[in-house]
Amino acid sequence: MKKIAWYARSFLAASIFCAAAFAAVLLLHPTNWMLYVVLALSAGLLAAFLFFTENQRLTAARLIVENQILHIQPAVLRKRDSAKEGEAESCETVEMFVSCFGILLGSKVIKFNQEGIRLKAVEIGRDYLSLDYGRDTDIHNIRLIYSRPDSTVLASIIEKFRYETGITPTVTNAPKRRIIL
């Protein structure tokens, strides 16, 4: 989510810079000022469009995080300092948030139960969480590697999905399918 927020702030700064450049060109009238006006205006409009797009993604990501059903931290990237043995500092954390509004995988937002996209099915296996979502016949599936928790936590997760989405997850004991080449 930090990456999405950074992009949104960068595009906002770029659009403000282009607006200031546009105003300066209009006030100063340098040679070939019409070319500069067109460039500043088009770059500013593009940056503003990208800002609004990223801002919508940021809003969806915040909605997912605030209404999370599951929070999975599959990876923590660490940087080791060769001068100091045994010490490692975290440089980045990859997190997954699953909620009734979608999934946030690092900086990727997958929406459902919004804008006509519905959650269709949830399956919890021994080592995965599978979600089917989409519009009518356009169904997508995402399978997350997730070790099934103990029975009390699992019951809580099932109840949250049932209460918030109306979908009762299917619990299976079959292992994840393996592809052999």
- pLDDT tens readout for residues 15-74: 999 999 999 999 988 888 899 999 999 999 999 999 999 999 999 999 989 988 888 776
Q: What are phi and psi of 21, to 5 degrees?
A: -65, -40
In this predicted structure, the answer to whether residue 1 has a pLDDT above a threshold of 90 is: no
What value does the mean pLDDT take over residues 127-148?
Answer: 85
In this predicted structure, the answer to whether residue 94 has a pLDDT above a threshold of 80 is: no
pTM of the entire structure? 0.73
Q: How far is CA 158 from CA 3, 36, 162, 171, in A?
A: 31, 58, 6, 9
Q: Which residue has the tokens 């079959």?
A: 174
Contact 113, 119 (CB under 8 A): yes
What are the CB-based long-range contacts (under 8 Å, 24+) for 170-173?
A: 170/121, 170/122, 170/123, 170/124, 171/123, 171/124, 171/125, 172/123, 172/124, 172/125, 172/126, 173/125, 173/126
What value does the mean pLDDT take over residues 112-131?
Answer: 86
Query: pLDDT > 90: what percent of the chain?
Result: 28
User: How confident is the model at residue 89, as a pLDDT?
Assistant: 58
User: How confident is the model at residue 11, as a pLDDT?
Assistant: 96
In this predicted structure, the answer to whether residue 152 has a pLDDT above a threshold of 70 is: yes
What value does the mean pLDDT take over residues 93-100?
Answer: 82
The Cα–Cα gap between 68 and 134 comes to 20
User: How confident is the model at residue 50, as a pLDDT?
Assistant: 96
The Cα–Cα gap between 79 and 91 comes to 6
Q: What are phi and psi of 27, to 5 degrees?
A: -80, -40
8-state DSSP, 176: P
Of 83-87, 113-117, 148-152, 172-176, which gets the smallest average pLDDT? 83-87
The Cα–Cα gap between 118 and 65 comes to 18
User: How confident is the model at residue 52, as a pLDDT?
Assistant: 97
In this predicted structure, the answer to whether residue 176 has a pLDDT above a threshold of 60 is: no
Closest CA to 55 of 97, 110, 6: 6
